[in-house]
């Protein structure tokens, strides 16, 4: 566990102490903030905008790359698994993860938000593997029949 790490402990307790001090001296912090803003007009905005423009390609590239990785990972989980209803093995793109019980998030959401493989595995463990047709029929039954 990371909290047992002594380095983390020091860092963590220092952070807590700093936060306590800041909470106690709120008006002083406000004063410092105002002073800084007077001395540095428009600096943060410019800095943020510059960082955004400097890093937009890199950030978007990283995100796209990670989404691709997640897609591969999820397709690997679906591969060569039969649909639980019709028992046919389809291509991974035709397979859905059906939540029979409680649902924290959908697997497509996990891909969109670039969640970790561990989080995805945890959610997939709650799911049944179902082909897209059976999945639609399943939900149609629930909603309208
Ligand atoms: Zn099916």
Q: According to the model, what pLDDT value does residue 1 have?
A: 47
Give distance in angstroms: CA of 107 to centre of ligand 1.
Answer: 18
| Residue 97 near residue 49, CB atoms below 8 Å | no
- Report which of 139, 103, 95, 135 is spatially closest to residue 122, judged by C-alpha positions: 103
Which pLDDT belongs to residue 129? 93
CB 30 within 8 A of CB 22: no
Cα dihedral 82, 84, 86, 87, rounded to 10, equals 40
Q: Please tell me the predicted confidence (pLDDT) of residue 144.
A: 53
- Expressed in angstroms and rounded, the spacing between residue 128 Cα and the centre of ligand 1 is 11
Residues with CB under 5 A from ligand 1 (ion): 83, 85-86, 131, 134
For residue 112, the CA-to-ligand 1 centroid distance in Å is: 25
Q: How far is it, in rounded angstroms, from Cα 20 to Cα 50?
A: 33
**Segments of the chain with pLDDT less than 70:** 1-12, 43, 141-145
pTM of the entire structure? 0.58
Under 8 Å between Cβ of 130 and 85: yes
pLDDT at 52: 85
Between the CA of 129 and the centroid of ligand 1 the distance, in Å, is 9
What's the 86 CA to ligand 1 centre distance in angstroms? Answer: 4
- 62 CA to middle of ligand 1, Å? 35
């Amino acid at each position: 566990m990371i909290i047992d790490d002594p380095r983390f402990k020091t860092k963590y307790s220092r952070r807590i102490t700093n936060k306590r001090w800041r909470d106690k001296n709120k008006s002083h912090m406000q004063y410092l903030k105002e002073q800084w803003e007077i001395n540095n007009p428009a600096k943060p905005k410019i800095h943020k905008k510059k960082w955004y423009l400097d890093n937009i390609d890199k950030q978007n590239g990283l995100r796209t790359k990670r989404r691709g990785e997640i897609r591969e990972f999820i397709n690997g989980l679906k591969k060569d698994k039969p649909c639980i209803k019709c028992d046919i093995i389809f291509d991974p793109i035709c397979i859905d993860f059906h939540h029979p019980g409680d649902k924290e998030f959908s697997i497509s959401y996990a891909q969109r938000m670039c969640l970790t493989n561990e989080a995805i595995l945890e959610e997939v463990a709650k799911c049944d593997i179902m082909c897209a047709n059976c999945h639609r029929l399943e939900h149609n039954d629930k909603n309208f029949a």
